[in-house]
Chain A
Amino acid sequence: MATVQLKNIKKIYPHSESKQKKGLFGKKKDEEPEKKHNLQITAEGTVAVQQFSLDIADKEFIVLVGPSGCGKSTTLRMIAGLDTITEGELYIDGRLVNDVPPKGRDIAMVFQNYALYPHMSVYDNMAFALKLRKMPKAEIDRKVREAAEILDITEYLDRKPKALSGGQRQRVAIGRAIVREPQVFLMDEPLSNLDAKLRNQMRSEILKLRQRIDTTFIYVTHDQTEAMTLGDRIVIMRDGFIQQIGTPHEVYNHPHNLFVAGFIGTPQMNFFQTRLECENGEFYVPLYGTRFELNEKQKQMIKERGIEPQEITLGIRPEHVSLCKEGGVEAEVDVSEMMGSSVHLHCSVQGEEVVVIVSGLELGEEHASGFSHGEKVRLHFDSNVLHLFGADEVNLL
């Protein structure tokens, strides 16, 4: 139960020794990872995170999400005190904690690979932190059993971690964190080692848990479904920079830029290179010979912001494209993915791929099991939910 404030946090990993000295003993291994990402590299080292500012309210559930290597773990580890903060200020519950070691921050963390103490029983794993605090035995016992009850691991309390399945280990790792009743709960991809079914189950358990223990959560994931379902607010990161902070609704419906639009939502948003045109003061977007009129709200915003006609990227989510009998744009079905309640159609329109979600209700008798390759369909694009991105990839509206 505490607020967490990050003010303009920056993390630079110094160049490794071998890099500095172009070393005699330098291994090739070290030089590769830095090529993979577009992280900024300065004289001091690799900038893993920069300009990270975020105010986390008490009891808020924040999710950091982004592709691999974007600096999510680094940010979390700085909050935990496992990595030093190169620049900026970190406050937990109003207290500046930049130089406070992890044990003084009153946080708990769940690691991706669980990091259970292999030589201790499940009970001792969970009791470890409490014993260090010299809590009375009876109270430790009560808390451990209570947590075990919540997580449904009471019957494994005497086992060693190696005798548990992945899902059970994950519960123990969470249990170890909740007995502490920490001010802030940190989780680094806690579900990524579990299989799909278990992951869904644990996800809903984390939601339930959250209602029971009611504290501040910071949760790292690269899975946007987890981000959307768990987060009060989502922080989307890329190459060390924050791309957008917002509620799941906001980031989904008003992506701040092209990256966020493409990252959030499956299947991915459809993008089209086109122009924003103006004719007699009326703005419209041409696409495949049709003309998207903008709605009143959009027109007004364009006027307010003084936006000129320009090259744009047009974004439309797959669920906002529908099939129609006549009119619309002609397309050819490439792949039809039956998802159960709906069908994902990958169509090609004049050589470009467009993804359409067709709900089961719209399918009708003849297409009940999907579409066949090469079938001709007509697509209708809903112009009310267009996203327009300018040349700098930022959402115009």
Chain B
Amino acid sequence: MRLGQRPAYQTFLLYLALVLVTLFFLLPLLWILRTSLITKAQAYQIPPNFHVQLTLENYIEVLTTNKFARYYLNSAIVSLSATVLSVVFGAMSSYWLSRQPGNMTGAKLAILATQMIPPIVLVIPINTLIRSVGLNDSWMALVLAYLTFNLPYVIWMLLGFYDNVPRELDEASAIDGCSTMQTFFKVVFPLIAPGMMATAVYSFLVSWNEFVFALVLSGNATRTIPVAIAALETQHGVKIAELCASTMLAILPIVILSSFIKKYLVNGLTFGSIK
């Protein structure tokens, strides 16, 4: 039965339920948005005052005095590098894995097994490692750390996409005169590009949101946004207005990326190559 054919009251109840569920998830976010747009004094008022003047002063303060722009840049550099590296290396190893004659169960399970280790267990060893090679307080330290848990995930995710590309296509292109590289770039890559995009976005989100490693491995110069936001919870109390403003700023790229990932995932992998 199509939506349009429901009796009116049913449609109404359905929408009501949807609105309630959406509000349940959105309210905290909306509250953060509100808090970020009012003055500090008003932000602390309890009970909250709803007749307030909207202002951008928190955003301006966060971006200027709190060096938030700098943290933004750090986060962007670290997340982008980790994403690019993990997708490039992941794409290659995953392609190789999916094109092996056997089913490579052992190797695949080994890759999956790395995802079963809680990342927090690795914080201390990786920290020691990074310090011993003198990389502490550098972007590279974070990029390497993120690679260790992004890469297996990226490989695993891409495997699914590669397995959807029939091997006959590789074989046909080999016969047509492609080298392995040409086969990959001219035939396989265009087909898994949407999948790769989705994987990249995912990898970016994970890196962008990462907190524990960033807290331990980053210094003043390399602090990333999640750490910077946490730092607004000071000994003298929570700087709630600034905190909300920086949270909104941190969310912004994710919102943009999420609309991307949707487009690519919906595009899907339905092609008419076989049969």
Question: Which A residues are within 8 Å of any B CB, using their own CB?
Answer: 16-18, 23, 25-27, 30, 80-82, 101-103, 107-109, 111, 113-119, 128-129, 132-133, 160-164, 166, 169, 176, 180, 193
Contact = CB atoms under 8 A, between A and B. Distances in A.
B105 A23 contact: yes
A215 B6 CA distance: 66
Nearest to B189: A119
A30 B102 CA distance: 10
Nearest to A173: B172
B146 to A, nearest CB: 29
B256 to A, nearest CB: 27
Contact of A25 (B109, B172, B275): B109
Nearest to B109: A25
B215 interface: no
A25 B110 CA distance: 12
B246 to A, nearest CB: 42
B111 to A, nearest CB: 13
Interface residues of B, number: 28
Contacts of B173: 117, 128
B275 A166 contact: yes
B149 to A, nearest CB: 23
Contacts of B178: 103, 132
Interface in B157-187: 166, 168-169, 171-179, 182, 186-187
B106 interface: yes
A111 B177 contact: no
A129 B102 contact: no
Contacts of A25: 105-106, 109
A119 B273 CA distance: 9
Contacts of B190: 119
26 contacts: A18-B105, A23-B105, A27-B105, A80-B171, A101-B174, A102-B175, A108-B175, A109-B175, A111-B168, A111-B172, A113-B166, A114-B273, A114-B274, A115-B168, A115-B172, A115-B273, A117-B172, A119-B271, A128-B186, A129-B176, A132-B182, A162-B273, A164-B272, A169-B272, A176-B176, A180-B176
Contacts of B179: 103
Interface string B129-166: 00000000000000000000000000000000000001
B103 interface: yes
Contacts, number: 96
Contact of A115 (B106, B109, B171): B171
B191 interface: yes
Q: Which 8 A-B pairs have the closest CB atoms?
A: A162-B272, A118-B271, A115-B168, A118-B273, A129-B176, A115-B172, A103-B177, A132-B177
B191 A118 contact: yes
B172 to A, nearest CB: 4
Contacts of B272: 116, 118, 160-164, 169
A113 B168 contact: yes
B174 A113 contact: no
Given A16-B102, A80-B171, 16 more contacts: A30-B103, A81-B175, A82-B175, A102-B171, A109-B172, A111-B172, A113-B168, A115-B172, A115-B273, A115-B274, A118-B191, A119-B190, A161-B272, A162-B273, A163-B272, A193-B275
A111 B171 contact: yes
Contact of B176 (A16, A128, A161, A193): A128
B88 to A, nearest CB: 21
A176 B169 CA distance: 13
Nearest to A26: B105
A41 B190 CA distance: 40
Interface string B34-50: 00000000000000000
Contact of A117 (B103, B171, B175, B187): B187
Contact of A133 (B177, B187, B271): B177
